[in-house]
Amino acid sequence: MKIVLLFFLFVSSFFARESVTRYDVFATLFGHVGYCDVFIKEDGSTYEAKAVAQTIDVAALLLKDRVETFESRGIIKNGRYIPNIFIKTKKTTKRTRVQTYTFNHEKKEVLLVEEKVKIVNKTRFDSKDFKFVTKEVEEKSRNEEVLDPFLADDTLSIYLNSRYGCDMLEKKHAIFAVGAHNDKNKIYYECLTDKRKAAAQQKLKGDAHIIYNLHVEPFDKDDKVVDTLFVYDKDGLLQEGLMDEIFWVGSMRALRVSHKILN
């Protein structure tokens, strides 16, 4: 599912005040494996962004009907999206994990509250019927911590802020964001130009206005690096994502299938 979600991290740029966009995801081995709905709402100086990714068919069976949700809310200041809260939820048939990140930009602190619910089987002896009875029960946990180091962006806001990546003199941009950053591996995106852009275009379904390459270094340095292409049209909307040749899965491709302006 993390592979699927990589396609929806580059949701950015020039959205109307309120819109919803759907992307379908395909894998070489399994065909249509899932979809993601992306909601963007801007109201003056505030914004709300939400991405809901869900598996279907064989992928849903293998991943226990996993659904992942990312939600970012905050302010817009000088054209920059600044998050106040970021909520990341992962849900399967037996487990739910909700991570809520609250930003205090003045103190340069992010408070993480992580809540988990797990459904487990508990067996007890029923003395009345003189037999063992198994029943599903919920096990809950809650943990709080202040993150170190402080990160001023979340997974959605940093990509909302990436709209000018190709306009800058420096074409490569490191990613430091809650929900994406890890001290053990580097993550960056790069605007492709000239021959590299032309070569990437040959792999894509449609014509591209802007092409980014997302690079995530693997935890194991011996693993093969599989970069992801993100394609934008002239309206600044994410049009397509392509991750090539993942072990045993094949390539992964996300295609925009609808975009609606809600007001």
d(CA 49, CA 11): 9
Query: CA geometry: angle at 79 spanning 212 and 213, to 5°?
Result: 5
- pLDDT band at residue 15, thresholds of 50, 70 and 90? very low
Per DSSP, the three-state class of 245 is: strand
Burial class of residue 8 (count of CB atoms within 10 Å of its CB; 0-12, 13-18, 19+): buried
Q: What is the DSSP letter of 178?
A: B
Q: What is the pLDDT of residue 182?
A: 59
pTM: predicted TM-score of the whole model, two decimal places: 0.79
- At 60 the three-state DSSP class reads helix
Residue-wise pLDDT tens digits, 198-226: 998 888 887 778 888 888 776 555 566 66
Mean pLDDT of 110-129: 84
CA distance linking residue 250 with residue 33, whole number of Å: 12
Cα–Cα dist 166/223, whole Å: 29
Taking the C-alpha atoms of residue 211 and residue 191, their distance in angstroms, rounded to an integer, is 6
pLDDT, averaged across the chain: 80
Query: Residue 18 pLDDT more than 70?
Result: yes
Worst-scoring range by mean pLDDT, 134-143, 178-187, 251-260?
Answer: 178-187
Q: In this predicted model, what pLDDT tens digit does every residue of 34-63 receive, in sequence order?
A: 888 989 898 888 999 999 988 777 666 666
What's the rounded Cα separation, in Å, for the pair 263 and 257?
20
The listed range with the strongest mean pLDDT (183-187, 206-210, 254-258) is: 254-258
- 127: Cβ contacts below 8 Å, ≥ 6 apart: none
